Amino acid sequence: MLILNCPYCGVDAEETELAAGGEAHLKRFGPGSSDSDFHDYLFMRENPKGVHFERWRHANGCGKWFHAARCTQTLEVFGTYSAQVYEPPQEIRDAITAKRPGWTWRGFE
Amino acid sequence: MSEPISALNHASYDGIAKVEECGLQGMITLRGDLSDKVLAKVVKDATGQKVPGQREALVNGDTGVCWMSTDELLVLVPYAEVEAKLAAMTNALSGTHALAVNVSDARAVIRVSGSSAREVLGKVAPVDFAVDAFQSGQIRRSRLAQVAGAFWMDDAETFRVVCFRSTADYVFKLLKIAAQPGGEVGVY
């Protein structure tokens, strides 16, 4: 069972209270972009074994979206953070580096 | 004018805990910047309470205010006063980016009381109901089996559960089954 701390209401919410929102930090390529960028934006997703960044919504709770960094292999949660950011904050990256030295995910490390 | 009737019209059940529908309760959803001074004054005027902090429920009888999220409050007022309070609120908030809506008839309120009240709620919601983890003065929005609900404690043995009116029957039956005699677990 995955338990994530909602950064908005401070509740340690378990999986059944949350709704998964897919991969985090996607950059949108909309009208006017090239076909290959649009294709990648629509269809290409990371599927890592290890460190992963996701969007979650506290659906049966405060209703807010937030980000979570976790390990897909062990279900270890490195941290959760605000939805209003374009990339993982430094303290989350430091927390991951402490436990998974040398990790990379998309362009982040 | 037809007479307003609550979802379950005061249905009640006595088991290891008493489950009863509370009847009509005035409720106003107030959204906006919770640090705003105008909003704080509006809350004070309507309920006599300050703006609650994270997950705080400041409730006294059928009047009070509950923290629903970082930009949402649930204002409780007596059912008969809801229109007047809402009008005063809307008027005071006219220059502020905020929204107040009467949701009284969209909700139902159920009271669960008795020494096993924590157990009854504990069976249907994924929440830690240990005495040191959940106390009166706190509100928790969560799910009750399959539907959304919120609850707070009026005292050490009494919960008030708020759910959508459309799911009131489901929630009442759910709590009723959880409160059947012989259903004690003895965890809390």
Q: How far apart are CA A85 and CA A99, in angstroms?
A: 23
> For residue A5, what pLDDT is reported?
96
Residue B1 falls inside a structural domain: no
Residue B188 falls inside a structural domain: no
Arithmetic mean of pLDDT, A13-34? 94
The first and second tokens of residue B164, run together, are 């959508």
Contact criterion met (CB below 8 Å) for A77 and A3: yes
The pLDDT tens digits for B84-109 are: 999 999 999 999 999 999 999 999 99
Q: How far apart are CA B131 and CA B153, in angstroms?
A: 11
Q: How far apart are CA A53 and CA A30, in angstroms?
A: 22
Contact criterion met (CB below 8 Å) for B159 and B114: no
| Chain B residues whose C-beta sits inside 8 Å of any chain A C-beta | 54-55, 68-70, 126, 140-143, 148
* Residue bearing tokens 């809506």: B101
H or E stretch at A8: none
CA dihedral B181, B183, B187, B188 (to 10 degrees): -40
Instruction: Check the CA dihedral B60-B64-B67-B70 and report its sign.
Output: negative
Which residues in chain B show pLDDT less than 50? none
Could you tell me if B170 and B135 lie in one domain? yes
Range of the domain at B33: 26-104
Judged by a CB distance cut-off of 8 A, whether residue A14 touches chain B is yes
pTM of the model: 0.89
Could you tell me if B52 and B70 lie in one domain? yes
Q: Amino acid identity, residue B48?
A: G
- CATH number of the domain to which B91 belongs: 3.30.70.1520
Q: Do B140 and A8 touch (CB under 8 A)?
A: no
Q: Which of residues 54-93 of A touch B (CB under 8 A)?
A: 60-64
Residue B63 falls inside a structural domain: yes
Q: Do B143 and A63 touch (CB under 8 A)?
A: no
Classify burial at A86, counting beta carbons within 10 Å of its beta carbon; exposed 0-12, middle 13-18, buried 19 or more: exposed
> For residue A92, what pLDDT is reported?
95
Last residue of a domain, one of B104, B132, B153: B104
Q: How far apart are CA B109 and CA B57, in angstroms?
A: 15
Strand, coil or helix: what is B134? coil
> For residue B2, what pLDDT is reported?
85
Chain B residues near residue A16 by CB distance under 8 angstroms: 126, 143
Last residue of a domain, one of B81, B104, B127: B104
Contact criterion met (CB below 8 Å) for A53 and A31: no
Last residue of a domain, one of B104, B127, B150: B104
Chain A residues near residue B141 by CB distance under 8 angstroms: 9, 60-62
List the beta strands (DSSP E) in chain A. 3-5, 12-14, 19-23, 51-57, 65-71, 77-82
Residue B151 falls inside a structural domain: yes
Could you tell me if B41 and B100 lie in one domain? yes
Q: Which of A10, A60, A64 sits opposite B142 (nearest CB)?
A: A60
H or E stretch at B121: helix B117-124
**Residue B18: half-sphere exposure toward Cβ, Cα within 13 Å:** 11
Q: Which of A14, A16, A62 sits opposite B141 (nearest CB)?
A: A62
> For residue B186, what pLDDT is reported?
87
Chain B residues near residue A62 by CB distance under 8 angstroms: 68-70, 141
* Residue bearing tokens 């039956």: B173
| CATH code given to domain A3-99 | 3.30.2270.10
Q: What is residue B66's DSSP assignment?
A: E
Arithmetic mean of pLDDT, A93-102? 93
- CATH number of the domain to which B127 belongs: 3.30.1360.120
Contact criterion met (CB below 8 Å) for B21 and B6: yes
Contact criterion met (CB below 8 Å) for A61 and A5: no
Closest by alpha carbon to B154, among B120, B110, B105?
Answer: B110
CA dihedral B165, B39, B80, B69 (to 10 degrees): 20
CA B44 to chain centre: 18
Residue from B68, B124, B141, B162 whose CB has the most chain A CBs within 10 Å, to mutate = B141
Residue B162 falls inside a structural domain: yes
Q: Do B143 and A16 touch (CB under 8 A)?
A: yes
Residue B5 falls inside a structural domain: no
Residue B138 falls inside a structural domain: yes
Domain boundaries, chain A: 3-99
Could you tell me if B89 and B39 lie in one domain? yes
Question: Is residue A16 pLDDT above 90, yes or no?
Answer: yes
Q: Name the average pLDDT for chain A.
A: 94
Chain B residues near residue A14 by CB distance under 8 angstroms: 126
> For residue B52, what pLDDT is reported?
95
Identify the band that residue A103 occupies on the pLDDT scale cut at 50, 70 and 90.
Answer: very high
> For residue A108, what pLDDT is reported?
86
> For residue A107, what pLDDT is reported?
82
Q: How many domains does chain B have?
A: 2
Q: Amino acid identity, residue B57?
A: A
